[in-house]
Amino acid sequence: MDNAASKLPGAETEPLAASVDVKGMFDRIAERYDAANRVMSMGIDVLWRKQALKTFAGLPEDATFLDLGAGTLDGTTAIAAGRPKARVFAADFAGEMLRAGAAKINDTQNRVALHQADGHVLPYRDGVFDGVFTAFCVRNLVRIDVALAELARVTRPGAKIAVLEFFRPEKPRWFFDGIYNQHVLPIIGWAITGDRAAYKYLPESIGRFDSTATFEARLRNVGFTDVSTKNLFPGAIASLITATRGNTP
């Protein structure tokens, strides 16, 4: 990790994504990804996205959005459906995930663009986005600070960012971490997708990822302000971090 990252408390551990073929993993499970998500979260992930998208309530109706790590386009389609004048750019490095979700865009396709893209080197010009939404993506980045600096680059001053993620807890949660994530979730994921390794990666990646405090510090370091965290489920199973793009990087 770079020197700036190593100074952040809790950022000493390299993300698990650095030693795993994450792109290949998501490409493998793309066709069954939605089915597995709905079963494992009992549909709560849909409610979490709705909560996260409230971050953008004050933006213009014709705002331009980036959905980073768009996956099978649940977030993209929610933004497009809720804002008939908005444009949404969906970026994900796993092309099979985008293809698996492409049918969801339907009558919003003239306002939605799908791009297979690396979050560390985004193919967009400076200051183009009014809002950035990213759900369960940042944990899969190898160079987190590089990717966040890219988000700062492609957003205009005053832009809003909403990060929905499973962050590393400050204290172990005996049921969620010790039982459900370690034992139940891999079996469910394996049964639905046929890929047990992918669903062993999830709990392991959480344990190797940032706490919310560390991730907040990363956002501030690259120029975001008004950074705050909201836990979306008892025990901080999922958290929403929101921020505003400052006037200077």
Report which DSSP code applies to 90.
Answer: E
pLDDT at 37: 75
Residue range 99-134, pLDDT digits in tens: 999 999 987 778 999 999 999 999 999 999 999 999
pLDDT at 4: 43
The 3-state secondary structure of 7-54, one letter per residue: CCCCCCCCCHHHHCCHHHHHHHHHHHHHHHHHHHHCCHHHHHHHHHHH
Residue range 120-173, pLDDT digits in tens: 999 999 999 999 999 999 999 999 999 999 999 999 999 999 999 988 877 666
Report which DSSP code applies to 221.
Answer: H
Rounding to the nearest 10 degrees, give the CA dihedral for residues 212, 217, 222, 224. Answer: 70
Is the pLDDT at 62 greater than 80? The verdict is: yes
Q: Residue 22 sits in which domain range?
A: 3-245
pLDDT at 226: 97
Q: Number of structural domains, the chain?
A: 1
For all residues of the chain together, what is the average pLDDT? Answer: 85
Selection from 85, 189, 66 nearest residue 127 by Cα: 66
Which residue is listed with tokens 């940032």?
210
Q: How many residues does the chain have?
A: 249
Task: Find out whether 154 and 124 touch, Cβ atoms under 8 Å.
Answer: yes
48 or 248, greater pLDDT: 48
Is the pLDDT at 45 greater than 90? The verdict is: no
pLDDT at 1: 36
- Residues 41-69 have a mean pLDDT of 92
pLDDT at 5: 44
Task: Find out whether 117 and 123 touch, Cβ atoms under 8 Å.
Answer: yes
180 or 169, greater pLDDT: 169
Selection from 107, 61, 60, 109 nearest residue 89 by Cα: 109
Which residue is listed with tokens 């100074």?
7
CA distance 33 to 68: 17
Ranking 22-36, 93-107, 227-241 by mean pLDDT, the lowest is 227-241
pTM of the complete model? 0.87
DSSP string, 117-149: --TTS-SS-TT-EEEEEEES-GGG-SSHHHHHH
The CATH number linked to 39 is 3.40.50.150
201 or 188, greater pLDDT: 201
**What are the backbone angles phi and psi of residue 187, rounded to the nearest 5°?**
-70, -45
Residue range 221-230, pLDDT digits in tens: 999 999 999 9
